[in-house]
C-alpha cells in the first residue's frame, strides 16, 4: 500500500481491465489458489459467496488456470447437484452463459461433518490433488477457507482445518480463514470465540468480515475526509451539531423471525455495521494507509466512546412481529433501535452520534448524515428552512450530496434549500459498482486486512454495547410498539430533537434521473 502522500488520485473511473491490472499487482503469482466454502449448501454461500466468486472470476481476478473452488457441507450431494443449486443465483443472460458454465466447472464438492477428521482429511486430499495437478510445490499454494457457517461451529471447524487441511510447509504459500458475523452475543462470548480461534491461527490469518466495510461509499470515507482540504477545518465539534448513521428496511423479518429473535437489531446491525461506519467518520488521520495504522485509529475511537445512557436509547418492535410462529409470544427483542453515542475526545466532545436502525419502516436506505451548526448572525432569516448537511447515501441510489441554502431564482431576495449532488448512477454511467463481498474476498486473497475487524477492535465494540444489551435481555428496557410502514416509535424522533437534530421540512432529496 502507498503512504497517504503517495495516494494516486484518478480523474476518471477505471475500465474493468485497468482495474484488474492495477489491483492484481499485489496478488502472488506462485502457487495455485484453493477457495474452500464451508457451509456450501447454505443460503449465505448460495446468495452471496458464490455469486461474489463468480463476479471476480468473470472480471479476471480469479484465473481458471490457477484457482479451484471447493464446497464443503454435511449435505450428501454430488458436484453437479451443488452446481445446479448455485446456478440459479448467477446471471442468466445469453452473454453470461459460457462464463457461468466455465465457472461452475471450477467447483468440486466434498461432504462431511464439521467435527469429523475423516471429512477434513478427504477435503485436504481433494485440495492436494488440485495443487499437484497445477504443479504447485508443497507449501507454496494458497488456501482460503470461507466459513459461511453459524459462529457456534467456528471453533471446531477451525480445529479441523488446523489439524487436517493446512498447508504442509511454508514456501510462500498461506492458509487464511474468513469468519462471518455475529462474533458472539456479548463481550464474554466474543472473547471466548476469539480465544478459541486465536489459539489455532495467528491474527494475520484471521479475516473477520463485516460486509459494510466493503461498500463503495464506506470505502470512500477516508478519501473524502483526508484528500479534500475544505473538510479538514470543518470536521469537528466547532462546526458539526450531530452525526446520524442510519439503516432502514421497509420489510420485516420475512420468515427469519426465530433466528432474528436470538439477536435483535442492535446485535444484527448497530453493534457491527453502524459502529464500523462511525469509526471511519470519527477517526483521526492515520499515519499511512497500511491496514494496521487505519485499524489503530479506529480502536482509539471505540475506546473513547462513553457508556450509553438508558435515557438516550429508544427501542421498538413492529406490530405483527410476534405473529411469526418461530417468535416467542412474550418477545422483547427490538426490531428498531436509536442510540446516542458520545465520543470523549478533543475533536468530538459534545457532538451526539445517533445510530438508528429498524425493520418494517417507511423506506429502505442506509446513509450517513452530518448536520452542521446554524450560521451565526443569520441575516437572511433562513434558519427555519434547515441546516447545512453533508449526506453520504450508502444504499440504494449511491450518492454524496451537500444540502445547503441558495438564493431562489427570481427578482426577490428569497432563499431555498438545494444541494450539490454527486450521484453515482449519473456521474459514473456504465461503471458497475462491485458488491461488498467481491471486494472483501479479493482483499483476503491479497492479504489486505484494512477492511476487516481486528480482535482488539471487536473487543472494544462489544465493551460499548454489552451493558445495554444485558439490560435489554433482562427486561429492564422495553421495546415500544410501532406500526409497520411508519418511521418507528414517535419517542425516537423526540430523542433526536432532544439531541439537537433539526429536521428539514419541505425539502426531499430526489436522485437525479439519467438524461
For residue range 334-346, what is the model confidence (pLDDT) as tens digits? 999 999 999 999 9
Find the mean pLDDT for residues 461-468. 96
Using DSSP, how many helices (H) and how many strands (E) does the chain show?
17, 15
User: pLDDT band for position 136 (50/70/90)?
Assistant: low
The model carries a pTM of 0.87
User: pLDDT band for position 17 (50/70/90)?
Assistant: very low
Quick check: 513 pLDDT over 70? Answer: no
Comparison of pLDDT for 14 and 97, the residue scoring more: 97
Catalytic residues: 273
Strands 240-248 and 365-372: antiparallel
Strands 142-147 and 33-38: parallel
User: What is residue 139's predicted lDDT score, i.e. its pLDDT?
Assistant: 63
Find the mean pLDDT for residues 107-123. 92
Strands 313-318 and 336-342: antiparallel
CB 371 within 8 A of CB 243: yes
Provide the percentage of residues in the chain whose pLDDT is more than 90. Answer: 57
Quick check: 233 pLDDT over 80? Answer: yes
Distance (Å, whole) CA 143 – CA 150: 21
Quick check: 240 pLDDT over 60? Answer: yes
User: pLDDT band for position 138 (50/70/90)?
Assistant: low
Find the mean pLDDT for residues 149-160. 92
Find the mean pLDDT for residues 153-161. 94
The rounded mean pLDDT for the chain is 86
Find the mean pLDDT for residues 369-386. 79
Please name the residues in contact with 446: beta carbons below 8 A apart, sequence gap of 6 or more.
23, 26, 27
Strands 174-180 and 313-318: unpaired
Amino acid at each position: 500500500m502507498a503512504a497517504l502522500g503517495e495516494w494516486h488520485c484518478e480523474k476518471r473511473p477505471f475500465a474493468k481491465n485497468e482495474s484488474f491490472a492495477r489491483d492484481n499487482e499485489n496478488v502472488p503469482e506462485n502457487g495455485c489458489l484453493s477457495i474452500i466454502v464451508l457451509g456450501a449448501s447454505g443460503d449465505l454461500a448460495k446468495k452471496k459467496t458464490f455469486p461474489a466468486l463468480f463476479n471476480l472470476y468473470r472480471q479476471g481476478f480469479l484465473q481458471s488456470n490457477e484457482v479451484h473452488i471447493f464446497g464443503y457441507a454435511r449435505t450428501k450431494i454430488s458436484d453437479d447437484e451443488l452446481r445446479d443449486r448455485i446456478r440459479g443465483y448467477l446471471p442468466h443472460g445469453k452473454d453470461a452463459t459460457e462464463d457461468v458454465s466455465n465457472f461452475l466447472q471450477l467447483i468440486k464438492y466434498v461432504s462431511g461433518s464439521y467435527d469429523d477428521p475423516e471429512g477434513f482429511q478427504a477435503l485436504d486430499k481433494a485440495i492436494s490433488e488440485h495443487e499437484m495437478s497445477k504443479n504447485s510445490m508443497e507449501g507454496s499454494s494458497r488456501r482460503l477457507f470461507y466459513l459461511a457457517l453459524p459462529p457456534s461451529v467456528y471453533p471446531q471447524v477451525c480445529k479441523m482445518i488446523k489439524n487436517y487441511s493446512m498447508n504442509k510447509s511454508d514456501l510462500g504459500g498461506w492458509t487464511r480463514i474468513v469468519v462471518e458475523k455475529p462474533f458472539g452475543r456479548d463481550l464474554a462470548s466474543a472473547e471466548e470465540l476469539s480465544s478459541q480461534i486465536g489459539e489455532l491461527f495467528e491474527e494475520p490469518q484471521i479475516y473477520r468480515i463485516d460486509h459494510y466495510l466493503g461498500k463503495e461509499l464506506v470505502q470512500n470515507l477516508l478519501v473524502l475526509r483526508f484528500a479534500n482540504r475544505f473538510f479538514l477545518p470543518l470536521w469537528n465539534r466547532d462546526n458539526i451539531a450531530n452525526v446520524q448513521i442510519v439503516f432502514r428496511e421497509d420489510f420485516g423479518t420475512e420468515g427469519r423471525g426465530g433466528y432474528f429473535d436470538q439477536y435483535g437489531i442492535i446485535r444484527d446491525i448497530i453493534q457491527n455495521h453502524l459502529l464500523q461506519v462511525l469509526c471511519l467518520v470519527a477517526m483521526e488521520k492515520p499515519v499511512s494507509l497500511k491496514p494496521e495504522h487505519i485499524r489503530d485509529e479506529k480502536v482509539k475511537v471505540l475506546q473513547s466512546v462513553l457508556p450509553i445512557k438508558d435515557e438516550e436509547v429508544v427501542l421498538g418492535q413492529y406490530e405483527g412481529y410476534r405473529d411469526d410462529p418461530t417468535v416467542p409470544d412474550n418477545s422483547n427483542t427490538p426490531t428498531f433501535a436509536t442510540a446516542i453515542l458520545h465520543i470523549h475526545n478533543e475533536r468530538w466532545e459534545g457532538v451526539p452520534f445517533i445510530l438508528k436502525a429498524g425493520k418494517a419502516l417507511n423506506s429502505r436506505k442506509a446513509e450517513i448524515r452530518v448536520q452542521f451548526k446554524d450560521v451565526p448572525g443569520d441575516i437572511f432569516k433562513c434558519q427555519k428552512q434547515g441546516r447545512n448537511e453533508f449526506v453520504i447515501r450508502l444504499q440504494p441510489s449511491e450518492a454524496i450530496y451537500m444540502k445547503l441554502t441558495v438564493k431562489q431564482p427570481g427578482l426577490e431576495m428569497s432563499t431555498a434549500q438545494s444541494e450539490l449532488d454527486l450521484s453515482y448512477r449519473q456521474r459514473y454511467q456504465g461503471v458497475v459498482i462491485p458488491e461488498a463481498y467481491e471486494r472483501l474476498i479479493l482483499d483476503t486473497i491479497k492479504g489486505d486486512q484494512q477492511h476487516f475487524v481486528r480482535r482488539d477492535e471487536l473487543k472494544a465494540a462489544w465493551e460499548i454495547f454489552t451493558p445495554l444489551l444485558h439490560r435489554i435481555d433482562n427486561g429492564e428496557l422495553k421495546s415500544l410498539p410501532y406500526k409497520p410502514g411508519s418511521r418507528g416509535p414517535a419517542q425516537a424522533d423526540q430523542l433526536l430533537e432532544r439531541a439537537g437534530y433539526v429536521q428539514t421540512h419541505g425539502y426531499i432529496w430526489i436522485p437525479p434521473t439519467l438524461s
